[in-house]
Amino acid sequence: MLEFAHSLNPLYSLSGLAVGALVGFTGVGGGSLMTPLLVLLFGIHPATAVGTDLLYAGLTKISGTAVHGLNGAVEWRITRRLACGSVPAAALTLVLLGHFGRDTKSVSEVITSVLGFALILTAITLVFRAWLLRKAAETLERLDDRQIAVLTVLLGAVLGVLVSISSVGAGAIGVTALLMLYPKLPTVRIVGSDIAHAVPLTLIAGAGHWWIGSIDWALLASLLIGSIPGIAIGSALASRVPDRVLRPALAGTLALIGGRLAF
């Protein structure tokens, strides 16, 4: 226990505090911010950064799911549809990562490239969400419930692959896609359903990374020490920060980081 306490890094906790505050301000998933920070600033191996961040995300979103569930803000039908696609896709992706070896150069390159493109896609959805929703409404409003269900399962599969490789995708990308598919549902139920789906997905993907040996437990503990108060602080101050200023700035930052990782 004493050795573990000495292995905790205050710099990681400070990073967790900063990322937690930004998540509280913007609602953007921590993976979009934490994973590239660990890879680019601290030089953490991409697989270890992704795996540790997945467990970190799963643990922090359990409480969020409980709150949304108690408030009746989770559409469990949507959560089940997403999980039908994401869980098997995540399992297959992790089996392939384990087969090729997490420490190989090719796997590291795949992880950083997918992470980069996922960040760019997240930035696009942040900036052009309203336009994307208008364009999607012209096509998706003609689909019946069965077709919407199939598209939701396919969305889950895409998120399962993205999240397992990069830890990014279940936040801004998932919410935007669900708003396109279910425009008549209140946004709070879309967000609640997405968070509820993110818990099993990130925990399963995190467990898979644990299985292939890409979890740093001291790093995980250090991040949680900072992020838990950070999220509380960010959520409390969110109303004081103009969204029209913060969201484009965050999107630009994610696009720059994504370009750095992808190319």
In a domain, 96, yes or no: yes
Which phi-psi region, left, alpha or beta, contains residue 257 (left: φ > 0; alpha: ψ -120 to 50)?
Answer: alpha
Q: Is residue 26 domain-resident?
A: yes
Is 197 inside a domain boundary?
yes
4 in a structural domain: no
Residue 38 lies in a domain: yes
Which of 16-20, 47-51, 167-171 comes out lowest in average pLDDT? 167-171
Three-state SS at 25: helix
Residue 186 structural domain: 18-262
Residue 7 lies in a domain: no
Of the candidates 80, 28, 55, 32, the one whose C-alpha atom is nearest the C-alpha of residue 205 is 55
- Other beta carbons within 10 angstroms of residue 3's beta carbon come to 7
* pLDDT tens for each residue of 197-217: 888 888 888 888 888 888 888
Give residue-wise pLDDT tens across range 216-262.
888 899 988 888 788 777 766 655 666 666 667 666 767 776 776 66
Question: Is residue 15 classed as helix, strand or coil in its secondary structure?
Answer: helix
Provide the number of structural domains found in the chain. 1
Global pTM reads 0.77
CA distances from 17 to 12, 176, 228 (A): 9, 26, 7
What integer pLDDT is reported at residue 140 of this predicted model? 79
Q: Would you say residue 175 lies in a domain? A: yes
In this predicted structure, the answer to whether residue 1 has a pLDDT above a threshold of 70 is no
Structural domain contains residue 10: no
Q: Which residue type, as a one-letter code, is found at position 117?
A: F
